[in-house]
């Protein structure tokens, strides 16, 4: 049997979703990339299934299917997706946005209207906080860079996008999920991905310790325990649909679509 080419996100928050796959599975070959690269690889057919930013479901192939009940989700503060600024939000005129991000940039476009009342120009840049804030009034950072940045020592305010979304809508936010074309996964594949998630949630403290190193272990453990969820249930799906509606309303995307599942 040919292994399914699986593309995962190379951040701490994705590690529980693939926990043990290299040891337990002959069904998958696994690679890690930043979220935008995962989406690009899936769109071009270089992987079969990707942990894609949720907004890329609207930008990709119309036949994409979502793996049920698996995702990277927050319900309140997410900690790892945030704007950092030395000024007040109402004074932001330019925002440097991490080129690793796609969903987060789309969410920020929505929140600038729905929550912040800001009409800012976005400047795509690599995730270098010093350079981003040298050129712009604020910096949108994602993943480990945002999670571990000592913003207080730099005199910055951290504006958590997960917290802003839930405060505005009352719903969780779905950052990413597994998606691919309809013929690439069997029920056994899906069961194995769910089993990896279940193992990873149980082992989250060990995952954080191995990934983060001694100096950051406690922060990583608290993050996986308190900020990130991995089950894509009814309420999470409602949050995802609401994001798609608002993204279309504010012309972040040119269409929305129904959620279709394996």
Kindly tell me if the per-residue pLDDT of 61 is higher than 80.
no
Q: End-to-end alpha-carbon separation of the chain, Å?
A: 20
Q: What mean pLDDT is predicted for residues 9-23? A: 92
Kindly tell me if the per-residue pLDDT of 259 is higher than 90.
yes
What pLDDT score was predicted for residue 23?
A: 76
Task: Give which of 103, 83, 104 is closest to 95, Cα–Cα.
Answer: 83
| pTM score, whole prediction | 0.94
| Per-residue three-class SS string for the chain | CCCEEEEEECCHHHHHHHCCHHHHCCCEEEEEECHHHHHHHHHHCCCCEEEEEHHHHCCCCCCCEECCCCCEEECCCCCCEEEEECCCHHHCCEEEEECCCCHHHHHHHHHHHHHHCCCCEEEEECCCHHHHHHHCCEEEEEHHHHHHCCCHHHCCEEEEHHHHHHHHHCCCEEEEEEEECCCCCCHHHHHHHHHHHHHHHHCHHHHHHHHHCCCCHHHHHHHHHHCCECCCCHHHHHHHHHHHHHHHHCCCCCCCCCCCEC
What pLDDT score was predicted for residue 6?
A: 96
What pLDDT score was predicted for residue 88?
A: 87
What pLDDT score was predicted for residue 59?
A: 86
What pLDDT score was predicted for residue 251?
A: 94
Percent of the chain with pLDDT over 70: 99
Cβ 239 vs Cβ 174: under 8 Å: yes
Q: Is 88 helix (H, G, I), strand (E, B) or coil?
A: coil
Residue entry with tokens 């272990």: 217
Q: What mean pLDDT is predicted for residues 10-17? A: 95
What pLDDT score was predicted for residue 216?
A: 96
In the chain, what are the domains? 4-73+172-249 (3.40.190.10), 81-169 (3.40.190.10)
Q: What mean pLDDT is predicted for residues 179-187? A: 94
Q: Of 21-35, 59-73, 97-111, give the lowest mean pLDDT range.
A: 21-35
What pLDDT score was predicted for residue 89?
A: 83
What pLDDT score was predicted for residue 35?
A: 86
Task: Give which of 165, 213, 197 is closest to 14, Cα–Cα.
Answer: 197
pLDDT digits (tens, 9 = 90+) for 93-106: 999 999 888 899 99
Kindly tell me if the per-residue pLDDT of 197 is higher than 80.
yes
pLDDT digits (tens, 9 = 90+) for 17-27: 999 987 767 88
Kindly tell me if the per-residue pLDDT of 5 is higher than 90.
yes
Kindly tell me if the per-residue pLDDT of 184 is higher than 80.
yes
Average pLDDT for the chain: 95
Confidence of residue 33 (pLDDT cuts 50, 70, 90): very high
């Amino acid at each position: 049997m040919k292994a399914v080419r699986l593309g995962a996100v190379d951040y701490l928050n994705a590690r529980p979703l693939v926990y043990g796959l290299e040891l337990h599975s002959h069904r998958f070959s696994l690679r890690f990339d930043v979220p935008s690269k995962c989406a690009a690889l899936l769109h071009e057919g270089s992987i079969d299934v990707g942990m894609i930013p949720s907004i890329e479901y609207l930008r990709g192939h119309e036949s994409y299917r979502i793996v049920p009940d698996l995702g990277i989700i927050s319900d309140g503060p997410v900690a790892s997706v945030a704007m950092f600024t030395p000024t007040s939000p109402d004074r932001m005129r330019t925002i440097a946005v991490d080129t690793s991000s796609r969903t987060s940039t789309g969410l920020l476009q929505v929140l600038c209207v729905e929550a912040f009342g800001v009409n800012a120009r976005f400047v795509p840049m690599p995730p270098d906080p010093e350079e981003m804030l040298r050129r712009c009034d604020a910096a949108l950072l994602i993943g480990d860079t945002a999670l571990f940045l000592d913003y207080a020592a730099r005199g910055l305010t951290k504006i958590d996008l997960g917290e802003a979304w839930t405060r505005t809508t009352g719903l969780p936010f779905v950052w990413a999920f597994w998606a691919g074309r309809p013929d690439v996964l069997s029920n056994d594949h899906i069961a194995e991905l769910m089993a990896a998630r279940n193992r990873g949630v149980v082992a989250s403290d060990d995952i954080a310790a191995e990934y983060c190193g001694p100096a950051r272990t406690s922060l990583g453990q608290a993050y996986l325990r308190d900020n990130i969820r991995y089950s894509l249930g009814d309420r999470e799906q409602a949050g995802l649909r609401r994001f798609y509606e608002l993204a279309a309303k504010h012309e972040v995307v040119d269409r929305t679509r129904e959620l279709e599942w394996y």
